[in-house]
Amino acid sequence: MTIPIDLGGRIAVVTGATGQLGRRIVRTLATAGADVAVHCRSDRARAEETCHDIRALGRKAVVVSGDVGTAAGVAEIAAGVRAGLGNPDIVVANAVQQYTWTTILEQDPEDFESQFRTCVLQSVLLAKAFIPAMAQRRWGRFIAINTECSMQCLPGQGAYVSGKRGMDGTLRVLAREVGPDQVTVNQVAPGWMISDKYRDGGESNPAYERTVALKRRGYDQDIANAVAFLASDLASFISGCYLPVCGGNVMPTI
């Protein structure tokens, strides 16, 4: 017996869709049947290439741009999604500001602010932009990409963890607030995944793999599969979840 993930007739928007995980997520959602708005901040050429791949699957795709950490930027994204595809049923908050990691004592305070803006504030602004229409239809999926680092709290992770743990708390509250409208809110927490950046010769890292229960690294497709599942009707009774996809490297407790 096969239980398919069917997103036919759904509209999705994925922020940070030109990144390592983002590209795999949008292609997987399209393969499952969704039309997809591909967000980028600056790499429009790669976004257009990703849209071409989606259209080759027989789905609609548009490029949208804007700074996810500002109200004006998210308003620009929302306008582009609605003009190109309509109100989305699925929102995937995947974008995050990149920066150089160091100790908290040495980290530039602006890095903490950038993580707040692109983790916590992005989630809040996307929710404000898109969840009201989901609530009216009484169906919606809000999925954010967190990280195993939120549970590790290792040296050098301070700014990143501050943003992602703040996002976690915000989204758990949001899950309770919008649950009555049949909108689910969940998080997928990747480990150190193998993506295009590492596929050619950089897949193995014995020091990291020793800490993983499955003794190997996972793939970007594993993250995309989890997102597609949470976006589907198969996950209609799952909300408020922090789902590690990291081979058992971190394990939430009860």
Q: Which of 87, 109, 89 is nearest to 99 (CA)?
A: 109
Sole residue written with tokens 């967190």: 146
Residues with Cβ < 8 Å from 109, sequence gap 6 or more?
Answer: none
Q: Between 122-137 and 158-178, two packed helices, what is the crossing angle to 10 degrees?
A: 20
190 forms bridges with which residues in the sheet? Answer: 245
- Residues 113-165: tens digit of each pLDDT: 999 999 999 999 999 999 999 999 999 999 999 999 999 999 999 999 999 99
In whole angstroms, what is the distance from residue 183 CA to residue 22 CA?
A: 22
Q: Which domains does the chain have, with CATH numbers?
A: 11-190+219-241 (3.40.50.720)
pLDDT tens by residue, 21-79: 999 999 999 999 999 999 998 889 999 999 999 999 999 999 999 999 999 999 999 99
- Give the C-alpha distances (Å, rounded to integers) separating 253 from 176, 237, 240, 241: 20, 20, 15, 13
Q: What is the DSSP string of 56-80?
A: HTT--EEEEE--TTSHHHHHHHHHH
* pLDDT tens readout for residues 84-117: 999 999 999 999 999 999 999 999 999 999 999 9
Number of helices (H) and strands (E) in the chain: give both, helices first. 9, 7
| Run of H or E residues at 30 | helix 20-31
pTM over 0.85: yes
Is 160 part of the annotated catalytic residue set? yes
CA-to-CA dists, residue 219 to 26, 96, 106, 120, 190, angstroms? 15, 19, 32, 26, 9
The residues with which 184 forms a beta bridge, in sequence order, are: 141
User: For residue 1, what pLDDT is reported?
Assistant: 74
Pair 182, 214: CB distance under 8 Å: no
Q: Find the catalytic residue in 99, 160, 198, 219.
A: 160
